[in-house]
């Protein structure tokens, strides 16, 4: 049992420093936490009618999702900074491939929009923080 907690603690420290793998941040620290907060914490807050405990649990969850937002931003892959020459070259390549790309999207050979998993997780984190902060404000 101590080994499990030491692995969790080490992963938490790596995530806070921005050194954790993005897959671990998304699946273990993100989706698992969303499921636990929705199925367990939410029902716990609804079942307990003691205001102080409700606010305490909601504050802890809002802080957790705030931490997850911060750690996810730090662990996200960084986009390389391009020089002006590289930007012009990239723009020219994109302009050349625009027609082909449009046809591939039109005939559904390529997805219409590409989802950035980091951005989606950040949006979900903001919604979860707002949800639990709503319990604090409404109590």
Would you say residue 139 has pLDDT above 70?
no
Two tokens, residue 114: 């590409």
Would you say residue 112 has pLDDT above 80?
no
Q: Please state, as a whole number, how many other Cβ atoms lie within 10 Å of the Cβ of residue 12.
A: 14
Contacts of 11 (CB under 8 A, 6+ apart): 20, 24, 28, 29
pLDDT of residue 87: 82
Contact predicate 90/82, CB 8 Å: yes
pLDDT of residue 1: 86
Token match 């590289």: residue? 86
pLDDT of residue 12: 92
Token match 């921005």: residue? 18
116-134: per-residue pLDDT in tens? Answer: 889 999 999 999 999 999 9
Segment 22-48 mean pLDDT: 92
| Distance of alpha carbon 28 from alpha carbon 22, whole angstroms | 10
Q: What's the pTM?
A: 0.80
| pLDDT band at 111; cut points 50, 70, 90 | confident
């Amino acid at each position: 049992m101590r080994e499990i907690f030491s692995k969790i603690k080490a992963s938490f420290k790596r995530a806070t420093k921005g050194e954790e793998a993005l897959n671990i941040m998304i699946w273990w620290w993100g989706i698992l936490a969303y499921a636990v907060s929705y199925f367990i914490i939410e029902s716990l807050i609804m079942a307990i009618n003691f205001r102080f405990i409700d606010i305490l649990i909601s504050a802890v969850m809002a802080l957790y999702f705030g931490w997850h937002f911060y750690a996810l931003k730090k662990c996200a892959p960084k986009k390389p900074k391009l020089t002006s020459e590289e930007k012009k070259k990239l723009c020219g390549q994109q302009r050349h491939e625009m027609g082909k790309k449009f046809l591939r999207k039109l005939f559904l050979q390529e997805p219409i929009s590409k989802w950035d998993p980091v951005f989606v997780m950040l949006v979900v984190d903001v919604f979860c923080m707002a949800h639990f902060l709503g319990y604090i404000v409404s109590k």
